[in-house]
Amino acid sequence: MIIATWNVNSLNVRLPQVLDWLRDRQPDIMALQETKLTDADFPTLDIANAGYHAVFSGQKTYNGVAILSRMPAGEIVTDLPGLDDPQRRVLGATVGNLRVLNLYVPNGQAVGSEKYAYKLAWLDKLAEWLITERVPYPQLVVLGDFNIAPEDRDVHDPAAWAGQVLCSDPERAAFQRLLDLGFKDTFRLFPQEDHAFSWWDYRAAAFRRNLGLRIDHILASPALAAVCTTSQVDKAPRRLERPSDHAPVIAEFDLDLH
């Protein structure tokens, strides 16, 4: 079973790339972030023609999340419990015997800003949710754009980024708290090349120079991590014309969805 996550930075613009990627890689589950579409505008038909069910929680211009799956999804949740928030950043769904939580964690803008405080409060609510969610759903995957580079090796220039948003200690502590709950960062279950990133700024030819960060993650509950067989970043879509600034991240599991 293959699970993937991709911040597409507008599903309108990136739909052809998403359809190509689905055809080539055939994931069982695909989590999308920054669809930037209202639910009325979601391309359900194109996705269905590609062989996938879709559930989504969108808004105009900003944010928006979706889960595409070979099998139909149920038990849909679109909000963090206890957080009244118009921003569409959360989508939980059950696909067969797997629980999927797709997240677009707030960016945080700058350390000390209002958006940064919102990000930390949001992550606090997330941890509280996972404490309860993992009980009925032992096979739980929590994935998406976390907007956190967990360690210095996830940053092209750790000295320049030290203490900056996406890399600050409180953000990393919030990420570590998720790991302390027993979730595994599947990417780090396996040997990886140095300088492996999932996001590169559009500016300053950052991708060509591999000036990136690894901020997109697939976290697996203990039961799921135990059957994880590989995880990698697929940089190919970042090389295309008019790419997203993020690349898809993949994890594969020795598990039958049923």
Partner DNA sequence: ATGGTGGCGCGGCCA
Q: Residues 130-159 vs DNA: string with x where CB under 7 A?
A: -----------------x------------
Check binding of 109 to DNA (CB under 7 A).
yes
- Residue whose CB is less far from DNA, 211 or 255: 211
Check binding of 203 to DNA (CB under 7 A).
yes
Encoded amino acid at 210, one letter: N
Check binding of 208 to DNA (CB under 7 A).
no
CB of 211 to DNA, least distance (A): 11
The token duo for 55 is 């559930």
Q: Is the dihedral of CA 158, 4, 31, 245 positive or negative?
A: positive
Which of 82, 194, 242, 258 lies at the binding interface for DNA (CB under 7 A)? 242
| Alpha helix stretches (DSSP H) within 102-168 | 114-133, 158-161
Check binding of 13 to DNA (CB under 7 A).
yes
Active site residue 145: yes
Check binding of 190 to DNA (CB under 7 A).
no
Q: Phi first, then psi: what are they for 130, rounded to 5°?
A: -65, -30
| CA pair distance 253, 224, nearest whole angstrom | 8
Active site residue 104: yes
- The DSSP bridge pattern shows strands 53-57 and 249-253 to be unpaired
CB of 113 to DNA, least distance (A): 9
Region of residue 83 (phi > 0: left; psi between -120 and 50: alpha; otherwise: beta): beta
Check binding of 204 to DNA (CB under 7 A).
yes
Task: Give buried/exposed letters for 1-23 (b at 16+ CB in 10 A, else e).
Answer: bebbbbbbbebeebbebbbebbe
CB of 258 to DNA, least distance (A): 36
User: Which DSSP letter does residue 207 get?
Assistant: T
CB of 218 to DNA, least distance (A): 19
Tokens 């502590």 label which residue? 173
Check binding of 214 to DNA (CB under 7 A).
no
CB of 59 to DNA, least distance (A): 10
Tokens 């948003």 label which residue? 165
Contact in structure between 217 and 144 (CB atoms under 8 Å): yes
Q: Residues 57-86 vs DNA: string with x where CB under 7 A?
A: ---xxx------------------------
Instruction: Point out the catalytic residue in the list 28, 52, 79, 104.
Output: 104
CB of 233 to DNA, least distance (A): 17
| CA pair distance 227, 248, nearest whole angstrom | 21
One-character DSSP codes across 158-169: HHHHTTSTTT-H
Which of 92, 96, 106, 150 lies at the binding interface for DNA (CB under 7 A)? 106
- Residue whose CB is less far from DNA, 61 or 86: 61
The token duo for 255 is 């598990």
Residues lying near DNA in the complex (CB under 7 A) = 9-10, 12-13, 36, 60-62, 106-107, 109, 115, 147, 201-204, 242
Which amino acids are annotated catalytic?
A: 104, 145
